[in-house]
Amino acid sequence: MRQDSTTGPVVNGAQSVDRAVSVLEILAQRGEAGVREAAAQLDVHKSTAFRLLGALESRGLVEQTAERGRYRLGFGLVHLAGAVVDRLDITRQGRPVCEQLTVEIGETISVAVLKEHYAITLYQVRGPGAVGTHSRVGQPTPVHATATGKVLLAHLPARERTTLLAHSSMKRVTPNTLTAGRELDRHLAEARDRGYAVTLEEFEVGLHAMAAPIRSRDGGVVAALCASGPAYRFTEERMHELAPVLLKGAEEISRRVGHAG
């Protein structure tokens, strides 16, 4: 193994990541710390601790205090934590809204977010009907074939959307699944224009769904609120009739998580 005259064996990537996280934990516990203290806690040479702190500082994850050579957590962590906080907040704030919507719409209501090239359900309330729909929380679903996925896609920047769809492959799931980019683009444009997306047996035969965007404090679309039900009952006509109710619910969740509207 190649040696470094000051730090011993050259650490591999996993060790570096582990040590960087440990530095952040040390600063979270202590409030601030110097290079010598960090090195002692990590049981590494001072130069190794200095390089770790320097790398974290360059990304805004730590910053030096007024006393040079001492570090504290930086505001860059706020940006990283924001996405997680928003998701947790959406689930918490959205729960009572979803429960009310199941009564008003009479179908299963769920909240989903985008992860890589999938839509992931965070929370779900089953509808009151004897025959209803149910998808597993945390289960990845194809963005091009689901109402939640369409809403999340519709509000992505065009370049990001193209890259995401290239990774998803737009595979056919049912005979009604959209697999042509031009046709999907038309559906996404409709979703932006009317404020909600619709799928007609595109993800599962016999299943219809509609979804509306949930916005964060800064106005960006961070999640989708969905109503889904059996095609024979939750018809296309009925979905359009109930769309204002779903949109109002999405606006309420957005307001609860800080979006001013």
**219-239: per-residue pLDDT in tens?**
899 999 999 999 999 999 999
Query: Which one-letter amino acid corresponds to residue 3?
Result: Q
Among the listed residues 25, 19, 8, the one whose alpha carbon sits nearest the alpha carbon of residue 50: 19
Q: What is the predicted pLDDT for the residue at 169?
A: 82
Q: What is the dihedral of CA 197, 202, 204, 205, to 10 degrees?
A: 120
Phi, psi of 61 (to 5 degrees): -85, -25
Among the listed residues 235, 217, 214, the one whose alpha carbon sits nearest the alpha carbon of residue 95: 214
In this predicted structure, the answer to whether residue 136 has a pLDDT above a threshold of 80 is no
126: CB partners within 8 A, 6+ apart? 102, 108, 132, 134
- What CATH topology corresponds to 13-79? Arc Repressor Mutant, subunit A (1.10.10)
Residue % of the chain over a pLDDT of 70:
87
Query: Which one-letter amino acid corresponds to residue 27?
Result: L
Quickly list DSSP for 76-142: HHHHHHHHHHHHHHHHHHHHHHHHHHHHHH-SEEEEEEEETTEEEEEEEE--SSSS-----TT-EEE
Q: What is the predicted pLDDT for the residue at 88?
A: 62
Q: What is the rounded distance in angstroms from the CA atom of residue 182 to the CA atom of residue 177?
A: 13
Q: What is the predicted pLDDT for the residue at 90?
A: 80
The confidence band for 15, taking pLDDT boundaries of 50, 70 and 90, is: confident
Q: What is the rounded distance in angstroms from the CA atom of residue 24 to the CA atom of residue 223?
A: 29
The CATH homologous superfamily of the domain defined by 88-257: GAF domain (3.30.450.40)
Q: What is the rounded distance in angstroms from the CA atom of residue 186 to the CA atom of residue 195?
A: 14
Across the chain, mean pLDDT equals: 86
* DSSP bridge partners of 229: 208
pLDDT tens, residue by residue, 20-38: 899 898 988 888 889 999 9
Q: What is the predicted pLDDT for the residue at 66?
A: 73
Regarding pTM above 0.85, the answer is no
Residue 248 belongs to what H/E stretch?
helix 236-256
pLDDT, mean of residues 70-97: 74
Find out whether 216 and 188 touch, Cβ atoms under 8 Å. Answer: no
Find out whether 214 and 223 touch, Cβ atoms under 8 Å. Answer: yes
In this predicted structure, the answer to whether residue 187 has a pLDDT above a threshold of 90 is yes
Find out whether 81 and 61 touch, Cβ atoms under 8 Å. Answer: no
In this predicted structure, the answer to whether residue 5 has a pLDDT above a threshold of 80 is no
Mark out the alpha helices in 31-75 (DSSP H runs).
Answer: 35-42, 46-58
183: CB partners within 8 A, 6+ apart? none
Among all chains, which residue has been given the structure tokens 């839509």? 119
Residue % of the chain over a pLDDT of 90:
51
Residue 251 belongs to what H/E stretch?
helix 236-256
Shared fold status for 13-79 and 88-257: no
Provide the residue ranges of all domains of the chain, joining segments of one domain with +.
13-79, 88-257
Quickly list DSSP for 154-202: HTS-HHHHHHHHHHHTT--SSTT----HHHHHHHHHHHHHHS-EEEESS
